[in-house]
Amino acid sequence: MIKILINLYNWTKSKLPDLVFYSGFIFVFSQVGAVLNFITNLLIVPKYLNDGDLGLITPITQYVALGALPLGVVTSLVVKFVTRYEANGEWGKLKRLVRDLFIFGGVSTLVVAVIFVIGYESFALRMGIESKWILFWMVIHLCVSSCIPVLSLLSRSMQQYFMMAISGVLIPLTLMLFAIFLLPIYGITGYIVAVVASLIANIALSLFAVFSYFAPHKDRLEPYFDDCREVLRKYFLLFALGAGNAWLWGFVPPFVVKHFLNNSDAAGYYLIQRLAQLPFYAFSTIMLVLFPILSMKHERGQSTSRTVKYTILYTVISGAIVILALYLLAPLLFDFVPQWRERSEYAKYVWILSISVVLSAVNSVLATDLTAKWVFKPSWYKIPISCFMVIFIYCLFGWGAFRGKIPEEIWFWVNSNLQPGLYLLFSLMILHNLIILPVNIYWYRISSIISSKEN
């Protein structure tokens, strides 16, 4: 039986393009993980947490994500060298690069942890957090999650799709088991502990995969910095600004909802956000394998346009189907599921936020192609747009603080015509993606023309 399955695996792999085969392989496993995540985040968690604690989950998660920011910037810069060294068999350089990434991650985590603790009191005051144990476990969460960018980079660049598929089940399974036992007793603190446990399981599996991958290669460590020096000099600031902007987009929306709106809206936002992510499950596996495939094609002088166009087509079609389903079924689901019934008034927002998710995915496909081609100039246009939008959202929701500092007529007009709420927030998120989309399309076309002339 096993031999038959292996033969079927090899035959299927030989008949399908890499993007389709590996995406489909991971997709099968990820759907099990999606079901487990659904059970944990949308059935178990709302059952045991009140509105205030439920609305805390996303702001806490995004605040902790600050810890992975420095390492995320560096890994984004060196990802192409990881792919190149692996493709060229330069294992000495690759091993030293990976070692240095882990060292940098450890040092940067300590620095960020200090900043994190200093800013925590202000964060906790605005979020209504009183328990000191939450701070302790948030710091542990920060330290554990800080090495994830390196492990994720290695998994994707070295195309360890089997391990990626297993982790797609292991992580949500661990989260669910710990949540079942800890949430009824410790509440929001128990949820953070469960997340930490799932991350540790992911790290253990990833480290096993990395050591197994490098074990056959006994090459001595070789210097690589001369290869990366120019890239770091030219693009570090750009990548740092981009990563900071991405973090702000993850942090500010749930923060302003929890801080400026009521607990009911914060809990509603939690449910809406997770249900609105359903389209993401339809194309998330493609995004995992898209970069190394596009990067390899570009390194070999092959055109990436066909892969990009088919990926966007699939993303839009699958996303539209899920959005339509959410528009029709979300109200029925909120009435059917006991944990959601008291928050049924928020069902009407799910499909709206899903539009933003799909548009963001399309932008991600185009941005991934540009990154694979080492084209970063569009970021100098996109980052100011994104920063302006996120600052506008924060100022709009905290508009009351501006009273007395600007003319009363302007304050009253804005306060009367732009009432902060979830509908306005989701509309601005859609608008942001719509503004960014033409920029990505323009530079994608320019890069394709340049690549075709070079080849």
Classify residue 10: in a domain, yes or no. no
Domain count, the chain: 1
Q: Which residue has the higher pLDDT, 355 or 409?
A: 355
CA distance 156 to 174: 22
pTM to 2 decimal places: 0.83
| Structure confidence at residue 174 (pLDDT) | 92
Confidence of residue 4 (pLDDT cuts 50, 70, 90): low
Classify residue 8: in a domain, yes or no. no
| Structure confidence at residue 355 (pLDDT) | 94
pLDDT in tens, 201-254: 888 887 777 777 776 666 677 777 777 777 778 888 888 888 888 889 989 999
Confidence of residue 11 (pLDDT cuts 50, 70, 90): low
Classify residue 1: in a domain, yes or no. no
pLDDT in tens, 255-280: 999 989 888 999 999 999 988 887 77
| Structure confidence at residue 400 (pLDDT) | 75
| Structure confidence at residue 450 (pLDDT) | 63
Classify residue 7: in a domain, yes or no. no
Q: Among residues of the chain, what percentage have pLDDT more than 90? A: 20
Classify residue 444: in a domain, yes or no. yes
Confidence of residue 160 (pLDDT cuts 50, 70, 90): low
pLDDT in tens, 314-346: 888 988 998 999 999 898 988 888 888 888 899
Classify residue 356: in a domain, yes or no. yes
Confidence of residue 2 (pLDDT cuts 50, 70, 90): very low
Classify residue 5: in a domain, yes or no. no
pLDDT at 301 > cutoff 80: no
Q: Which residue has the higher pLDDT, 424 or 131?
A: 424
pLDDT at 455 > cutoff 60: no
Confidence of residue 106 (pLDDT cuts 50, 70, 90): confident
Confidence of residue 1 (pLDDT cuts 50, 70, 90): very low
185: containing domain:
15-454
Q: What number is the average pLDDT over the span 67-71?
A: 82
Classify residue 175: in a domain, yes or no. yes
Summary mean pLDDT of the chain: 82
